[in-house]
Homo-oligomer: A and B are copies of this chain.
Amino acid sequence: MNTNPGPYNLHVIESCFGCVMREEGVFCHLPHAALSHLNSLRQTALYPRGAVLFVEGESPRGLFILCSGQAKLTANSRDGQSITLRLVERGEVLGLSSVISNSPYLASAETLKPSQVSFIPRLPFLQFLRASPDVALSVAKHLSMELHKAWEKTSLLALAPSTPAKVAHFLLAWAAEHGQKTVEGVHVPLNLTHEEIARSIGSSRESVSRILGDFRQRRLIRVNGGSVIILEPHGLHSVMTGSPAG
């Protein structure tokens, strides 16, 4: 792992920014003028799998936009444990809150796949924000939604009656965001190791493995290479709420 890696392959991918920005993410509904201003601030580079974009505690150089690929935000405890706070998909933004509050990154960002990442330096971005109140508002809105997700995760971790409940919640939440309905069930691309899942819900690899095995045996899910098919959403849901199993 490389603390301050720099672009591995610095060639600008012109199409990336405009496309991602208009479809999804914080800046999606900005007027064209604002978008092209933002566009002029960014630098885009291609990072390999496992690249570290920034490290917990570092003071915020700027924000990152994931144009393609996948990344994760992880917080570490002193004894080497870590939890995955957020999985970041195409079009999402990293480091925004630290840039806004000018406080150290509170998590480390690492790519999970080769990823095209745009970088916008802090000061130009803040200047841009000061000049455009509606962008500031949409940033605030985005942060609010982030906050809601964080609180949801907190309640989950504290309130979930059991580890199976956490796994069920994780699968359902993931399906809600990235799943596609088919005849046999909800098809969820889930290219994460059991280890990653465990870290995301604050459990252990072995438990996740056992629990997924159990779900499979009870025909709640089916695993297919890098993806999971949820056969019985209701079943998972009742596991999640701790009700006496359906």
In the complex formed, the residue of B with least CB distance to A78 is B241
User: Taking the complex as formed, is A98 at the interface, i.e. its CB lies under 8 A from any CB of chain B?
Assistant: yes
Contact between chains at A140 and B79 (CB < 8 Å) = no
Most chain B C-beta atoms within 10 Å of own C-beta, residue among A96, A101, A144 = A144
Q: Are B157 and A157 interface neighbours, CB within 8 A? A: yes
How many A residues touch B, CB cutoff 8 Å? 48
Task: Summarize A's interface: helix, strand, loop or mixed.
Answer: helix
By the criterion CB–CB under 8 Å, are B159 and A202 in contact? yes
A83 at the interface (CB under 8 A from B): yes
Q: By CB atoms of chain B within 10 A, which of A78, A140, A145 has the most?
A: A140
If A83-B159, A202-B158 touch, whether A144 touches B144 (CB-CB below 8 Å) is no
Contacting pair B106 A151 (CB below 8 A) = yes
**Interface centre among A85, A97, A241, by most B CB within 10 Å?**
A97
What residues of B have a CB within 8 angstroms of the CB of A155 in the complex?
Answer: 75, 77, 83, 85
Known contacts A144-B103, A148-B103, A159-B202; A154/B97 CB under 8 A: no
A residues adjacent to B (C-beta < 8 A): 75, 77-79, 81-83, 85, 96-98, 100-101, 103, 106-107, 129-134, 136-137, 139-141, 143-148, 150-155, 157-161, 201-202, 241-242
